[in-house]
């Protein structure tokens, strides 16, 4: 290669690296797309125009003609820290079996504000690691053997400390202050703690939006969950198909701090 071309390419590379520092805001790092695992996996999974536009906006240079670089936010570089997605698994296998959708234990009393043991076996608690300790600070719903539905503000909210890291979900929990969840002689199986493989927040969610539109996210679990007496998914197939809108809001009371959580709470939607 001509020496002049080599020199020019060298200075162009240096210039791009300097410019990238100004382009990438909020502690984002200009790195090769493949090294930004959260965005790279999303691009490999969904090559829609909206995702392509997002990558164009984040573009900050090239490592080589075949290796574009993007501004990778810190939280996206740390998304896939557990187990990589299996490449030989059929996506259809992750969908729930309608026979186990929304199965609620009918012998549980519905009423008041406190749920009964095993009444809502699809509820999930989100566990965060902090610089000093850890705890449960958000809730979710198990909607398939590999996915939990939650709010986007639980994974990238404006009030969520940057030092907190969402690490796993707890399934089958009712009373976090007791080792065993029992109602007299009736006891549930031990809760299950499952690591999170991937965090997928709605692409249009804006943490600074006062209306909190598109406040929804999915958590892909690192392993399949087996439904049993204490675990089920929360998809109500009958309500969805019939067009009924009634339902319930179920989750831990606020403020969500470990020493205050005792039981799941319920609000009925008419």
Per-residue pLDDT, 87 = 39
In this prediction the pTM is: 0.49
pLDDT bracket for residue 60 (50, 70, 90): confident
* Mean pLDDT within 78-105: 43
Q: How confident is the model over 218-238, as pLDDT tens digits?
A: 999 888 887 654 444 444 444
CA distance 60 to 79: 21
Q: What is the DSSP string of 71-98?
A: EE-HHHHTTT-S-PPPSSS-GGGGSPPG
Q: Which of 43-57, 149-163, 164-178, 245-259 has the highest mean pLDDT?
A: 149-163
Using the predicted structure, report yes or no on whether residue 106 has a pLDDT greater than 90: no
More confident: 157 or 264? 157
Instruction: State what percent of residues in the chain have pLDDT above 70.
Output: 50
* pLDDT value for 242: 44
* Rounded Cα gap, residues 51 and 40, in angstroms: 10
Would you place residue 187 in the very low, low, confident or very high pLDDT band (cuts 50, 70, 90)? low
Residues β-bridged to residue 124: 140, 171
Give the model's pLDDT for residue 63.
80
Question: Of residues 93 and 192, which shows the higher confidence score?
Answer: 192
More confident residue, 215 or 11: 215
Q: Looking at per-residue confidence, does 114 or 188 come out higher?
A: 188
Mean pLDDT of the chain: 66
Q: How far is residue 36's CA from residue 51's CA, in Å, rounded to a whole number? A: 14
């Amino acid at each position: 290669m001509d020496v002049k071309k080599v020199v020019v390419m060298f200075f162009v590379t240096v210039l791009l690296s300097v410019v990238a520092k100004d382009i990438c805001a909020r502690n984002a790092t200009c790195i090769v797309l493949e090294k930004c695992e959260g965005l790279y996996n999303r691009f490999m999974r969904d090559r829609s125009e909206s995702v392509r536009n997002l990558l164009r906006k984040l573009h900050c240079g090239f490592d080589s003609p075949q290796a574009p670089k993007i501004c990778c936010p810190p939280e996206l570089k740390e998304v896939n820290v557990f187990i990589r997605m299996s490449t030989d698994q059929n996506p259809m296998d992750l969908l729930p079996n309608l026979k186990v959708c929304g199965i609620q234990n009918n012998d549980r009393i519905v009423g008041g504000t406190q749920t009964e043991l095993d009444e809502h076996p699809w509820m999930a608690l989100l566990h965060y690691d902090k610089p000093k300790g850890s705890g449960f600070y958000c809730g979710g719903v198990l909607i398939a053997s590999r996915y939990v539905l939650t709010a986007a503000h639980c994974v990238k909210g404006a009030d969520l400390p940057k030092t907190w890291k969402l690490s796993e979900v707890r399934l089958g929990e009712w009373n976090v202050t007791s080792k065993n969840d029992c109602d007299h002689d009736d006891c549930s199986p031990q809760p299950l703690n499952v690591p999170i493989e991937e965090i997928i927040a709605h692409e249009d969610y804006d943490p600074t939006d006062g209306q909190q539109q598109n406040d929804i996210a999915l958590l892909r679990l690192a392993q399949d969950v087996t439904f049993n007496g204490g675990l089920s998914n929360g998809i109500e197939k009958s309500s969805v198909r019939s067009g009924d809108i009634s339902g319930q809001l179920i989750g831990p009371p606020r403020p969500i701090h470990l020493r205050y959580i005792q039981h799941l709470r319920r609000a009925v939607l008419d």
